[in-house]
Structure 1
Amino acid sequence: MLASSRRRLALSAAALLIGLGVAGCSSTSDRMRSALHAVTPYKVEVVQGNVITKEQVELLRAGMSRQQVRELLGTPLLADIFHANRWDYVFTIKRQRVDPQQRRLTVFFNGDTLDRFEGDAMPSEEEFVAGLDTRKLSGKVPVLEATEEQLKKHAPAADTASQNAGRTLAPLPPTYPPLESR
């Protein structure tokens, strides 16, 4: 009987502490929510398809063979057997803190030769590479030149160089001791 009353008392005390904890958390819950929103889990970068640049599209010409188009743009992401005269080049990239990007270029063939192509405006190679860098740039370029004082501080001493030039090194021993003792 005594053990069961102690157990009830312990359970009541635990329930009371939990209730007080929940009541006390209501004032700090807004701060906790904002702290949790500041911490985001890592999301995997997803890159799919072919990167097609403006320079590559400018090299496309009607009359090119399928092999020439493949060498220029790569293997298409979508080559449908039901639309044998159409290749779709699709590029998507999803990254943290960056809006997802999607570009499409469709190439149409007449037999084995390129007939026409249509699609989104493609970025130049330079624009594409610049768009990959998501770091916030400070705008400050660090100084990449050393001052005369810095050069003098790290310059080898002239006396040491002249001393070493006149000195000869000791001859090497004719044999070396064994690596392991017998």
Structure 2
Amino acid sequence: MSANAFHSARLGAILLLGASLAACGSFDGASARIASVVTPYKVDVVQGNFISREQVEALQAGMGRQQVRDILGTPLVTSLFHADRWEYVFSLQRPGQPVQSRKLTVFFKGDVLERFEGDEMPTESEFVASLDARKGKRKVPQLEATEEQLAKFPAPQAPAKATEQQPAPAPTATRYPPLESSTR
């Protein structure tokens, strides 16, 4: 091998090595740019029972345990040591926002509701509005129809009685094969 050929091969190897290193550097830069654009999806973490102000207002001393369960749902925490107390805990953790946490404790005397205490609960409309906070403020739709809206729809009419009653059609006789064979 001549000195010129050796020198050319050596120069080619150096250029190939330099191009490889440059490609790695640009690959790292491209992957860093892609990683900065693509972010992983972060889920909202909801735990417990959401209790609204309307549900708390429906509670009355003297209700039975089943009535309380019908209004509030199954309690998140019950204790063997405190069978007369149910804990309703709710937390909502959303990425980039503070954790919402609320607690309501219901006290029983025997099987009858004695009292309840806890955090100030939002109304259902307030809670729905807080869920939509990331997308901007929107008006929560009214969920009840006004008298004017109901007046637009005709009242249901009672079916008119037929003056002549037509006899009901006689059932047709249907024959089925026997369940058991007659040969034994």
Which bracket does the TM-score occupy, shorter chain normalised?
0.5 to 0.7
| Alpha-carbon distance between aligned partners in 2 of 1:105 and 1:76, rounded to the nearest angstrom | 10
Kindly report which structure 2 residues correspond to 1:118-133, keeping only aligned pairs within 5 A, or say none: 118-133=117-132
Determine the C-alpha separation between the residues in 2 that align with 1:79 and 1:10.
76
Q: 1:113-135 CA distances to partner (integer Å, 9 max, x unpaired)?
A: 11221211110111011112131
Aligned mates of 1:136, 1:58 — CA distance in 2 = 30
Residue in 2 aligned with 1:157? none
| TM-score normalised per structure 2 | 0.55
Pairing 1:1-182 to 2, within 5 Å after superposition? 13=15, 15-17=17-19, 19-20=21-22, 32=32, 36-37=35-36, 39-133=38-132, 134-137=134-137
Aligned to 1:172: none
SS at match of 1:42: coil
How many Å apart are 1:94 and its aligned residue?
2.4
Alpha-carbon deviations, 1:121-159, whole Å to 9, x = none? Answer: 1101110111121313589xxxxxxxxxxxxxxxxxxxx
- Runs of 4+ off more than 4 Å: 8-15, 18-26, 35-38
CA contact (8 A) 2:129 2:137 kept: no
Measured on the aligned residues, the alpha-carbon RMSD in Å equals 3.8
Structure 1 residue 88: deviation in Å? 0.8
By percentage of residues, which structure has more helix? 1
When residues 137 and 88 of structure 1 are mapped into structure 2, their CA distance, relative to the original with a 3 A threshold, is: closer
- TM-score, with length taken from structure 1: 0.56
How many percent of aligned residue pairs carry the same amino acid? 51
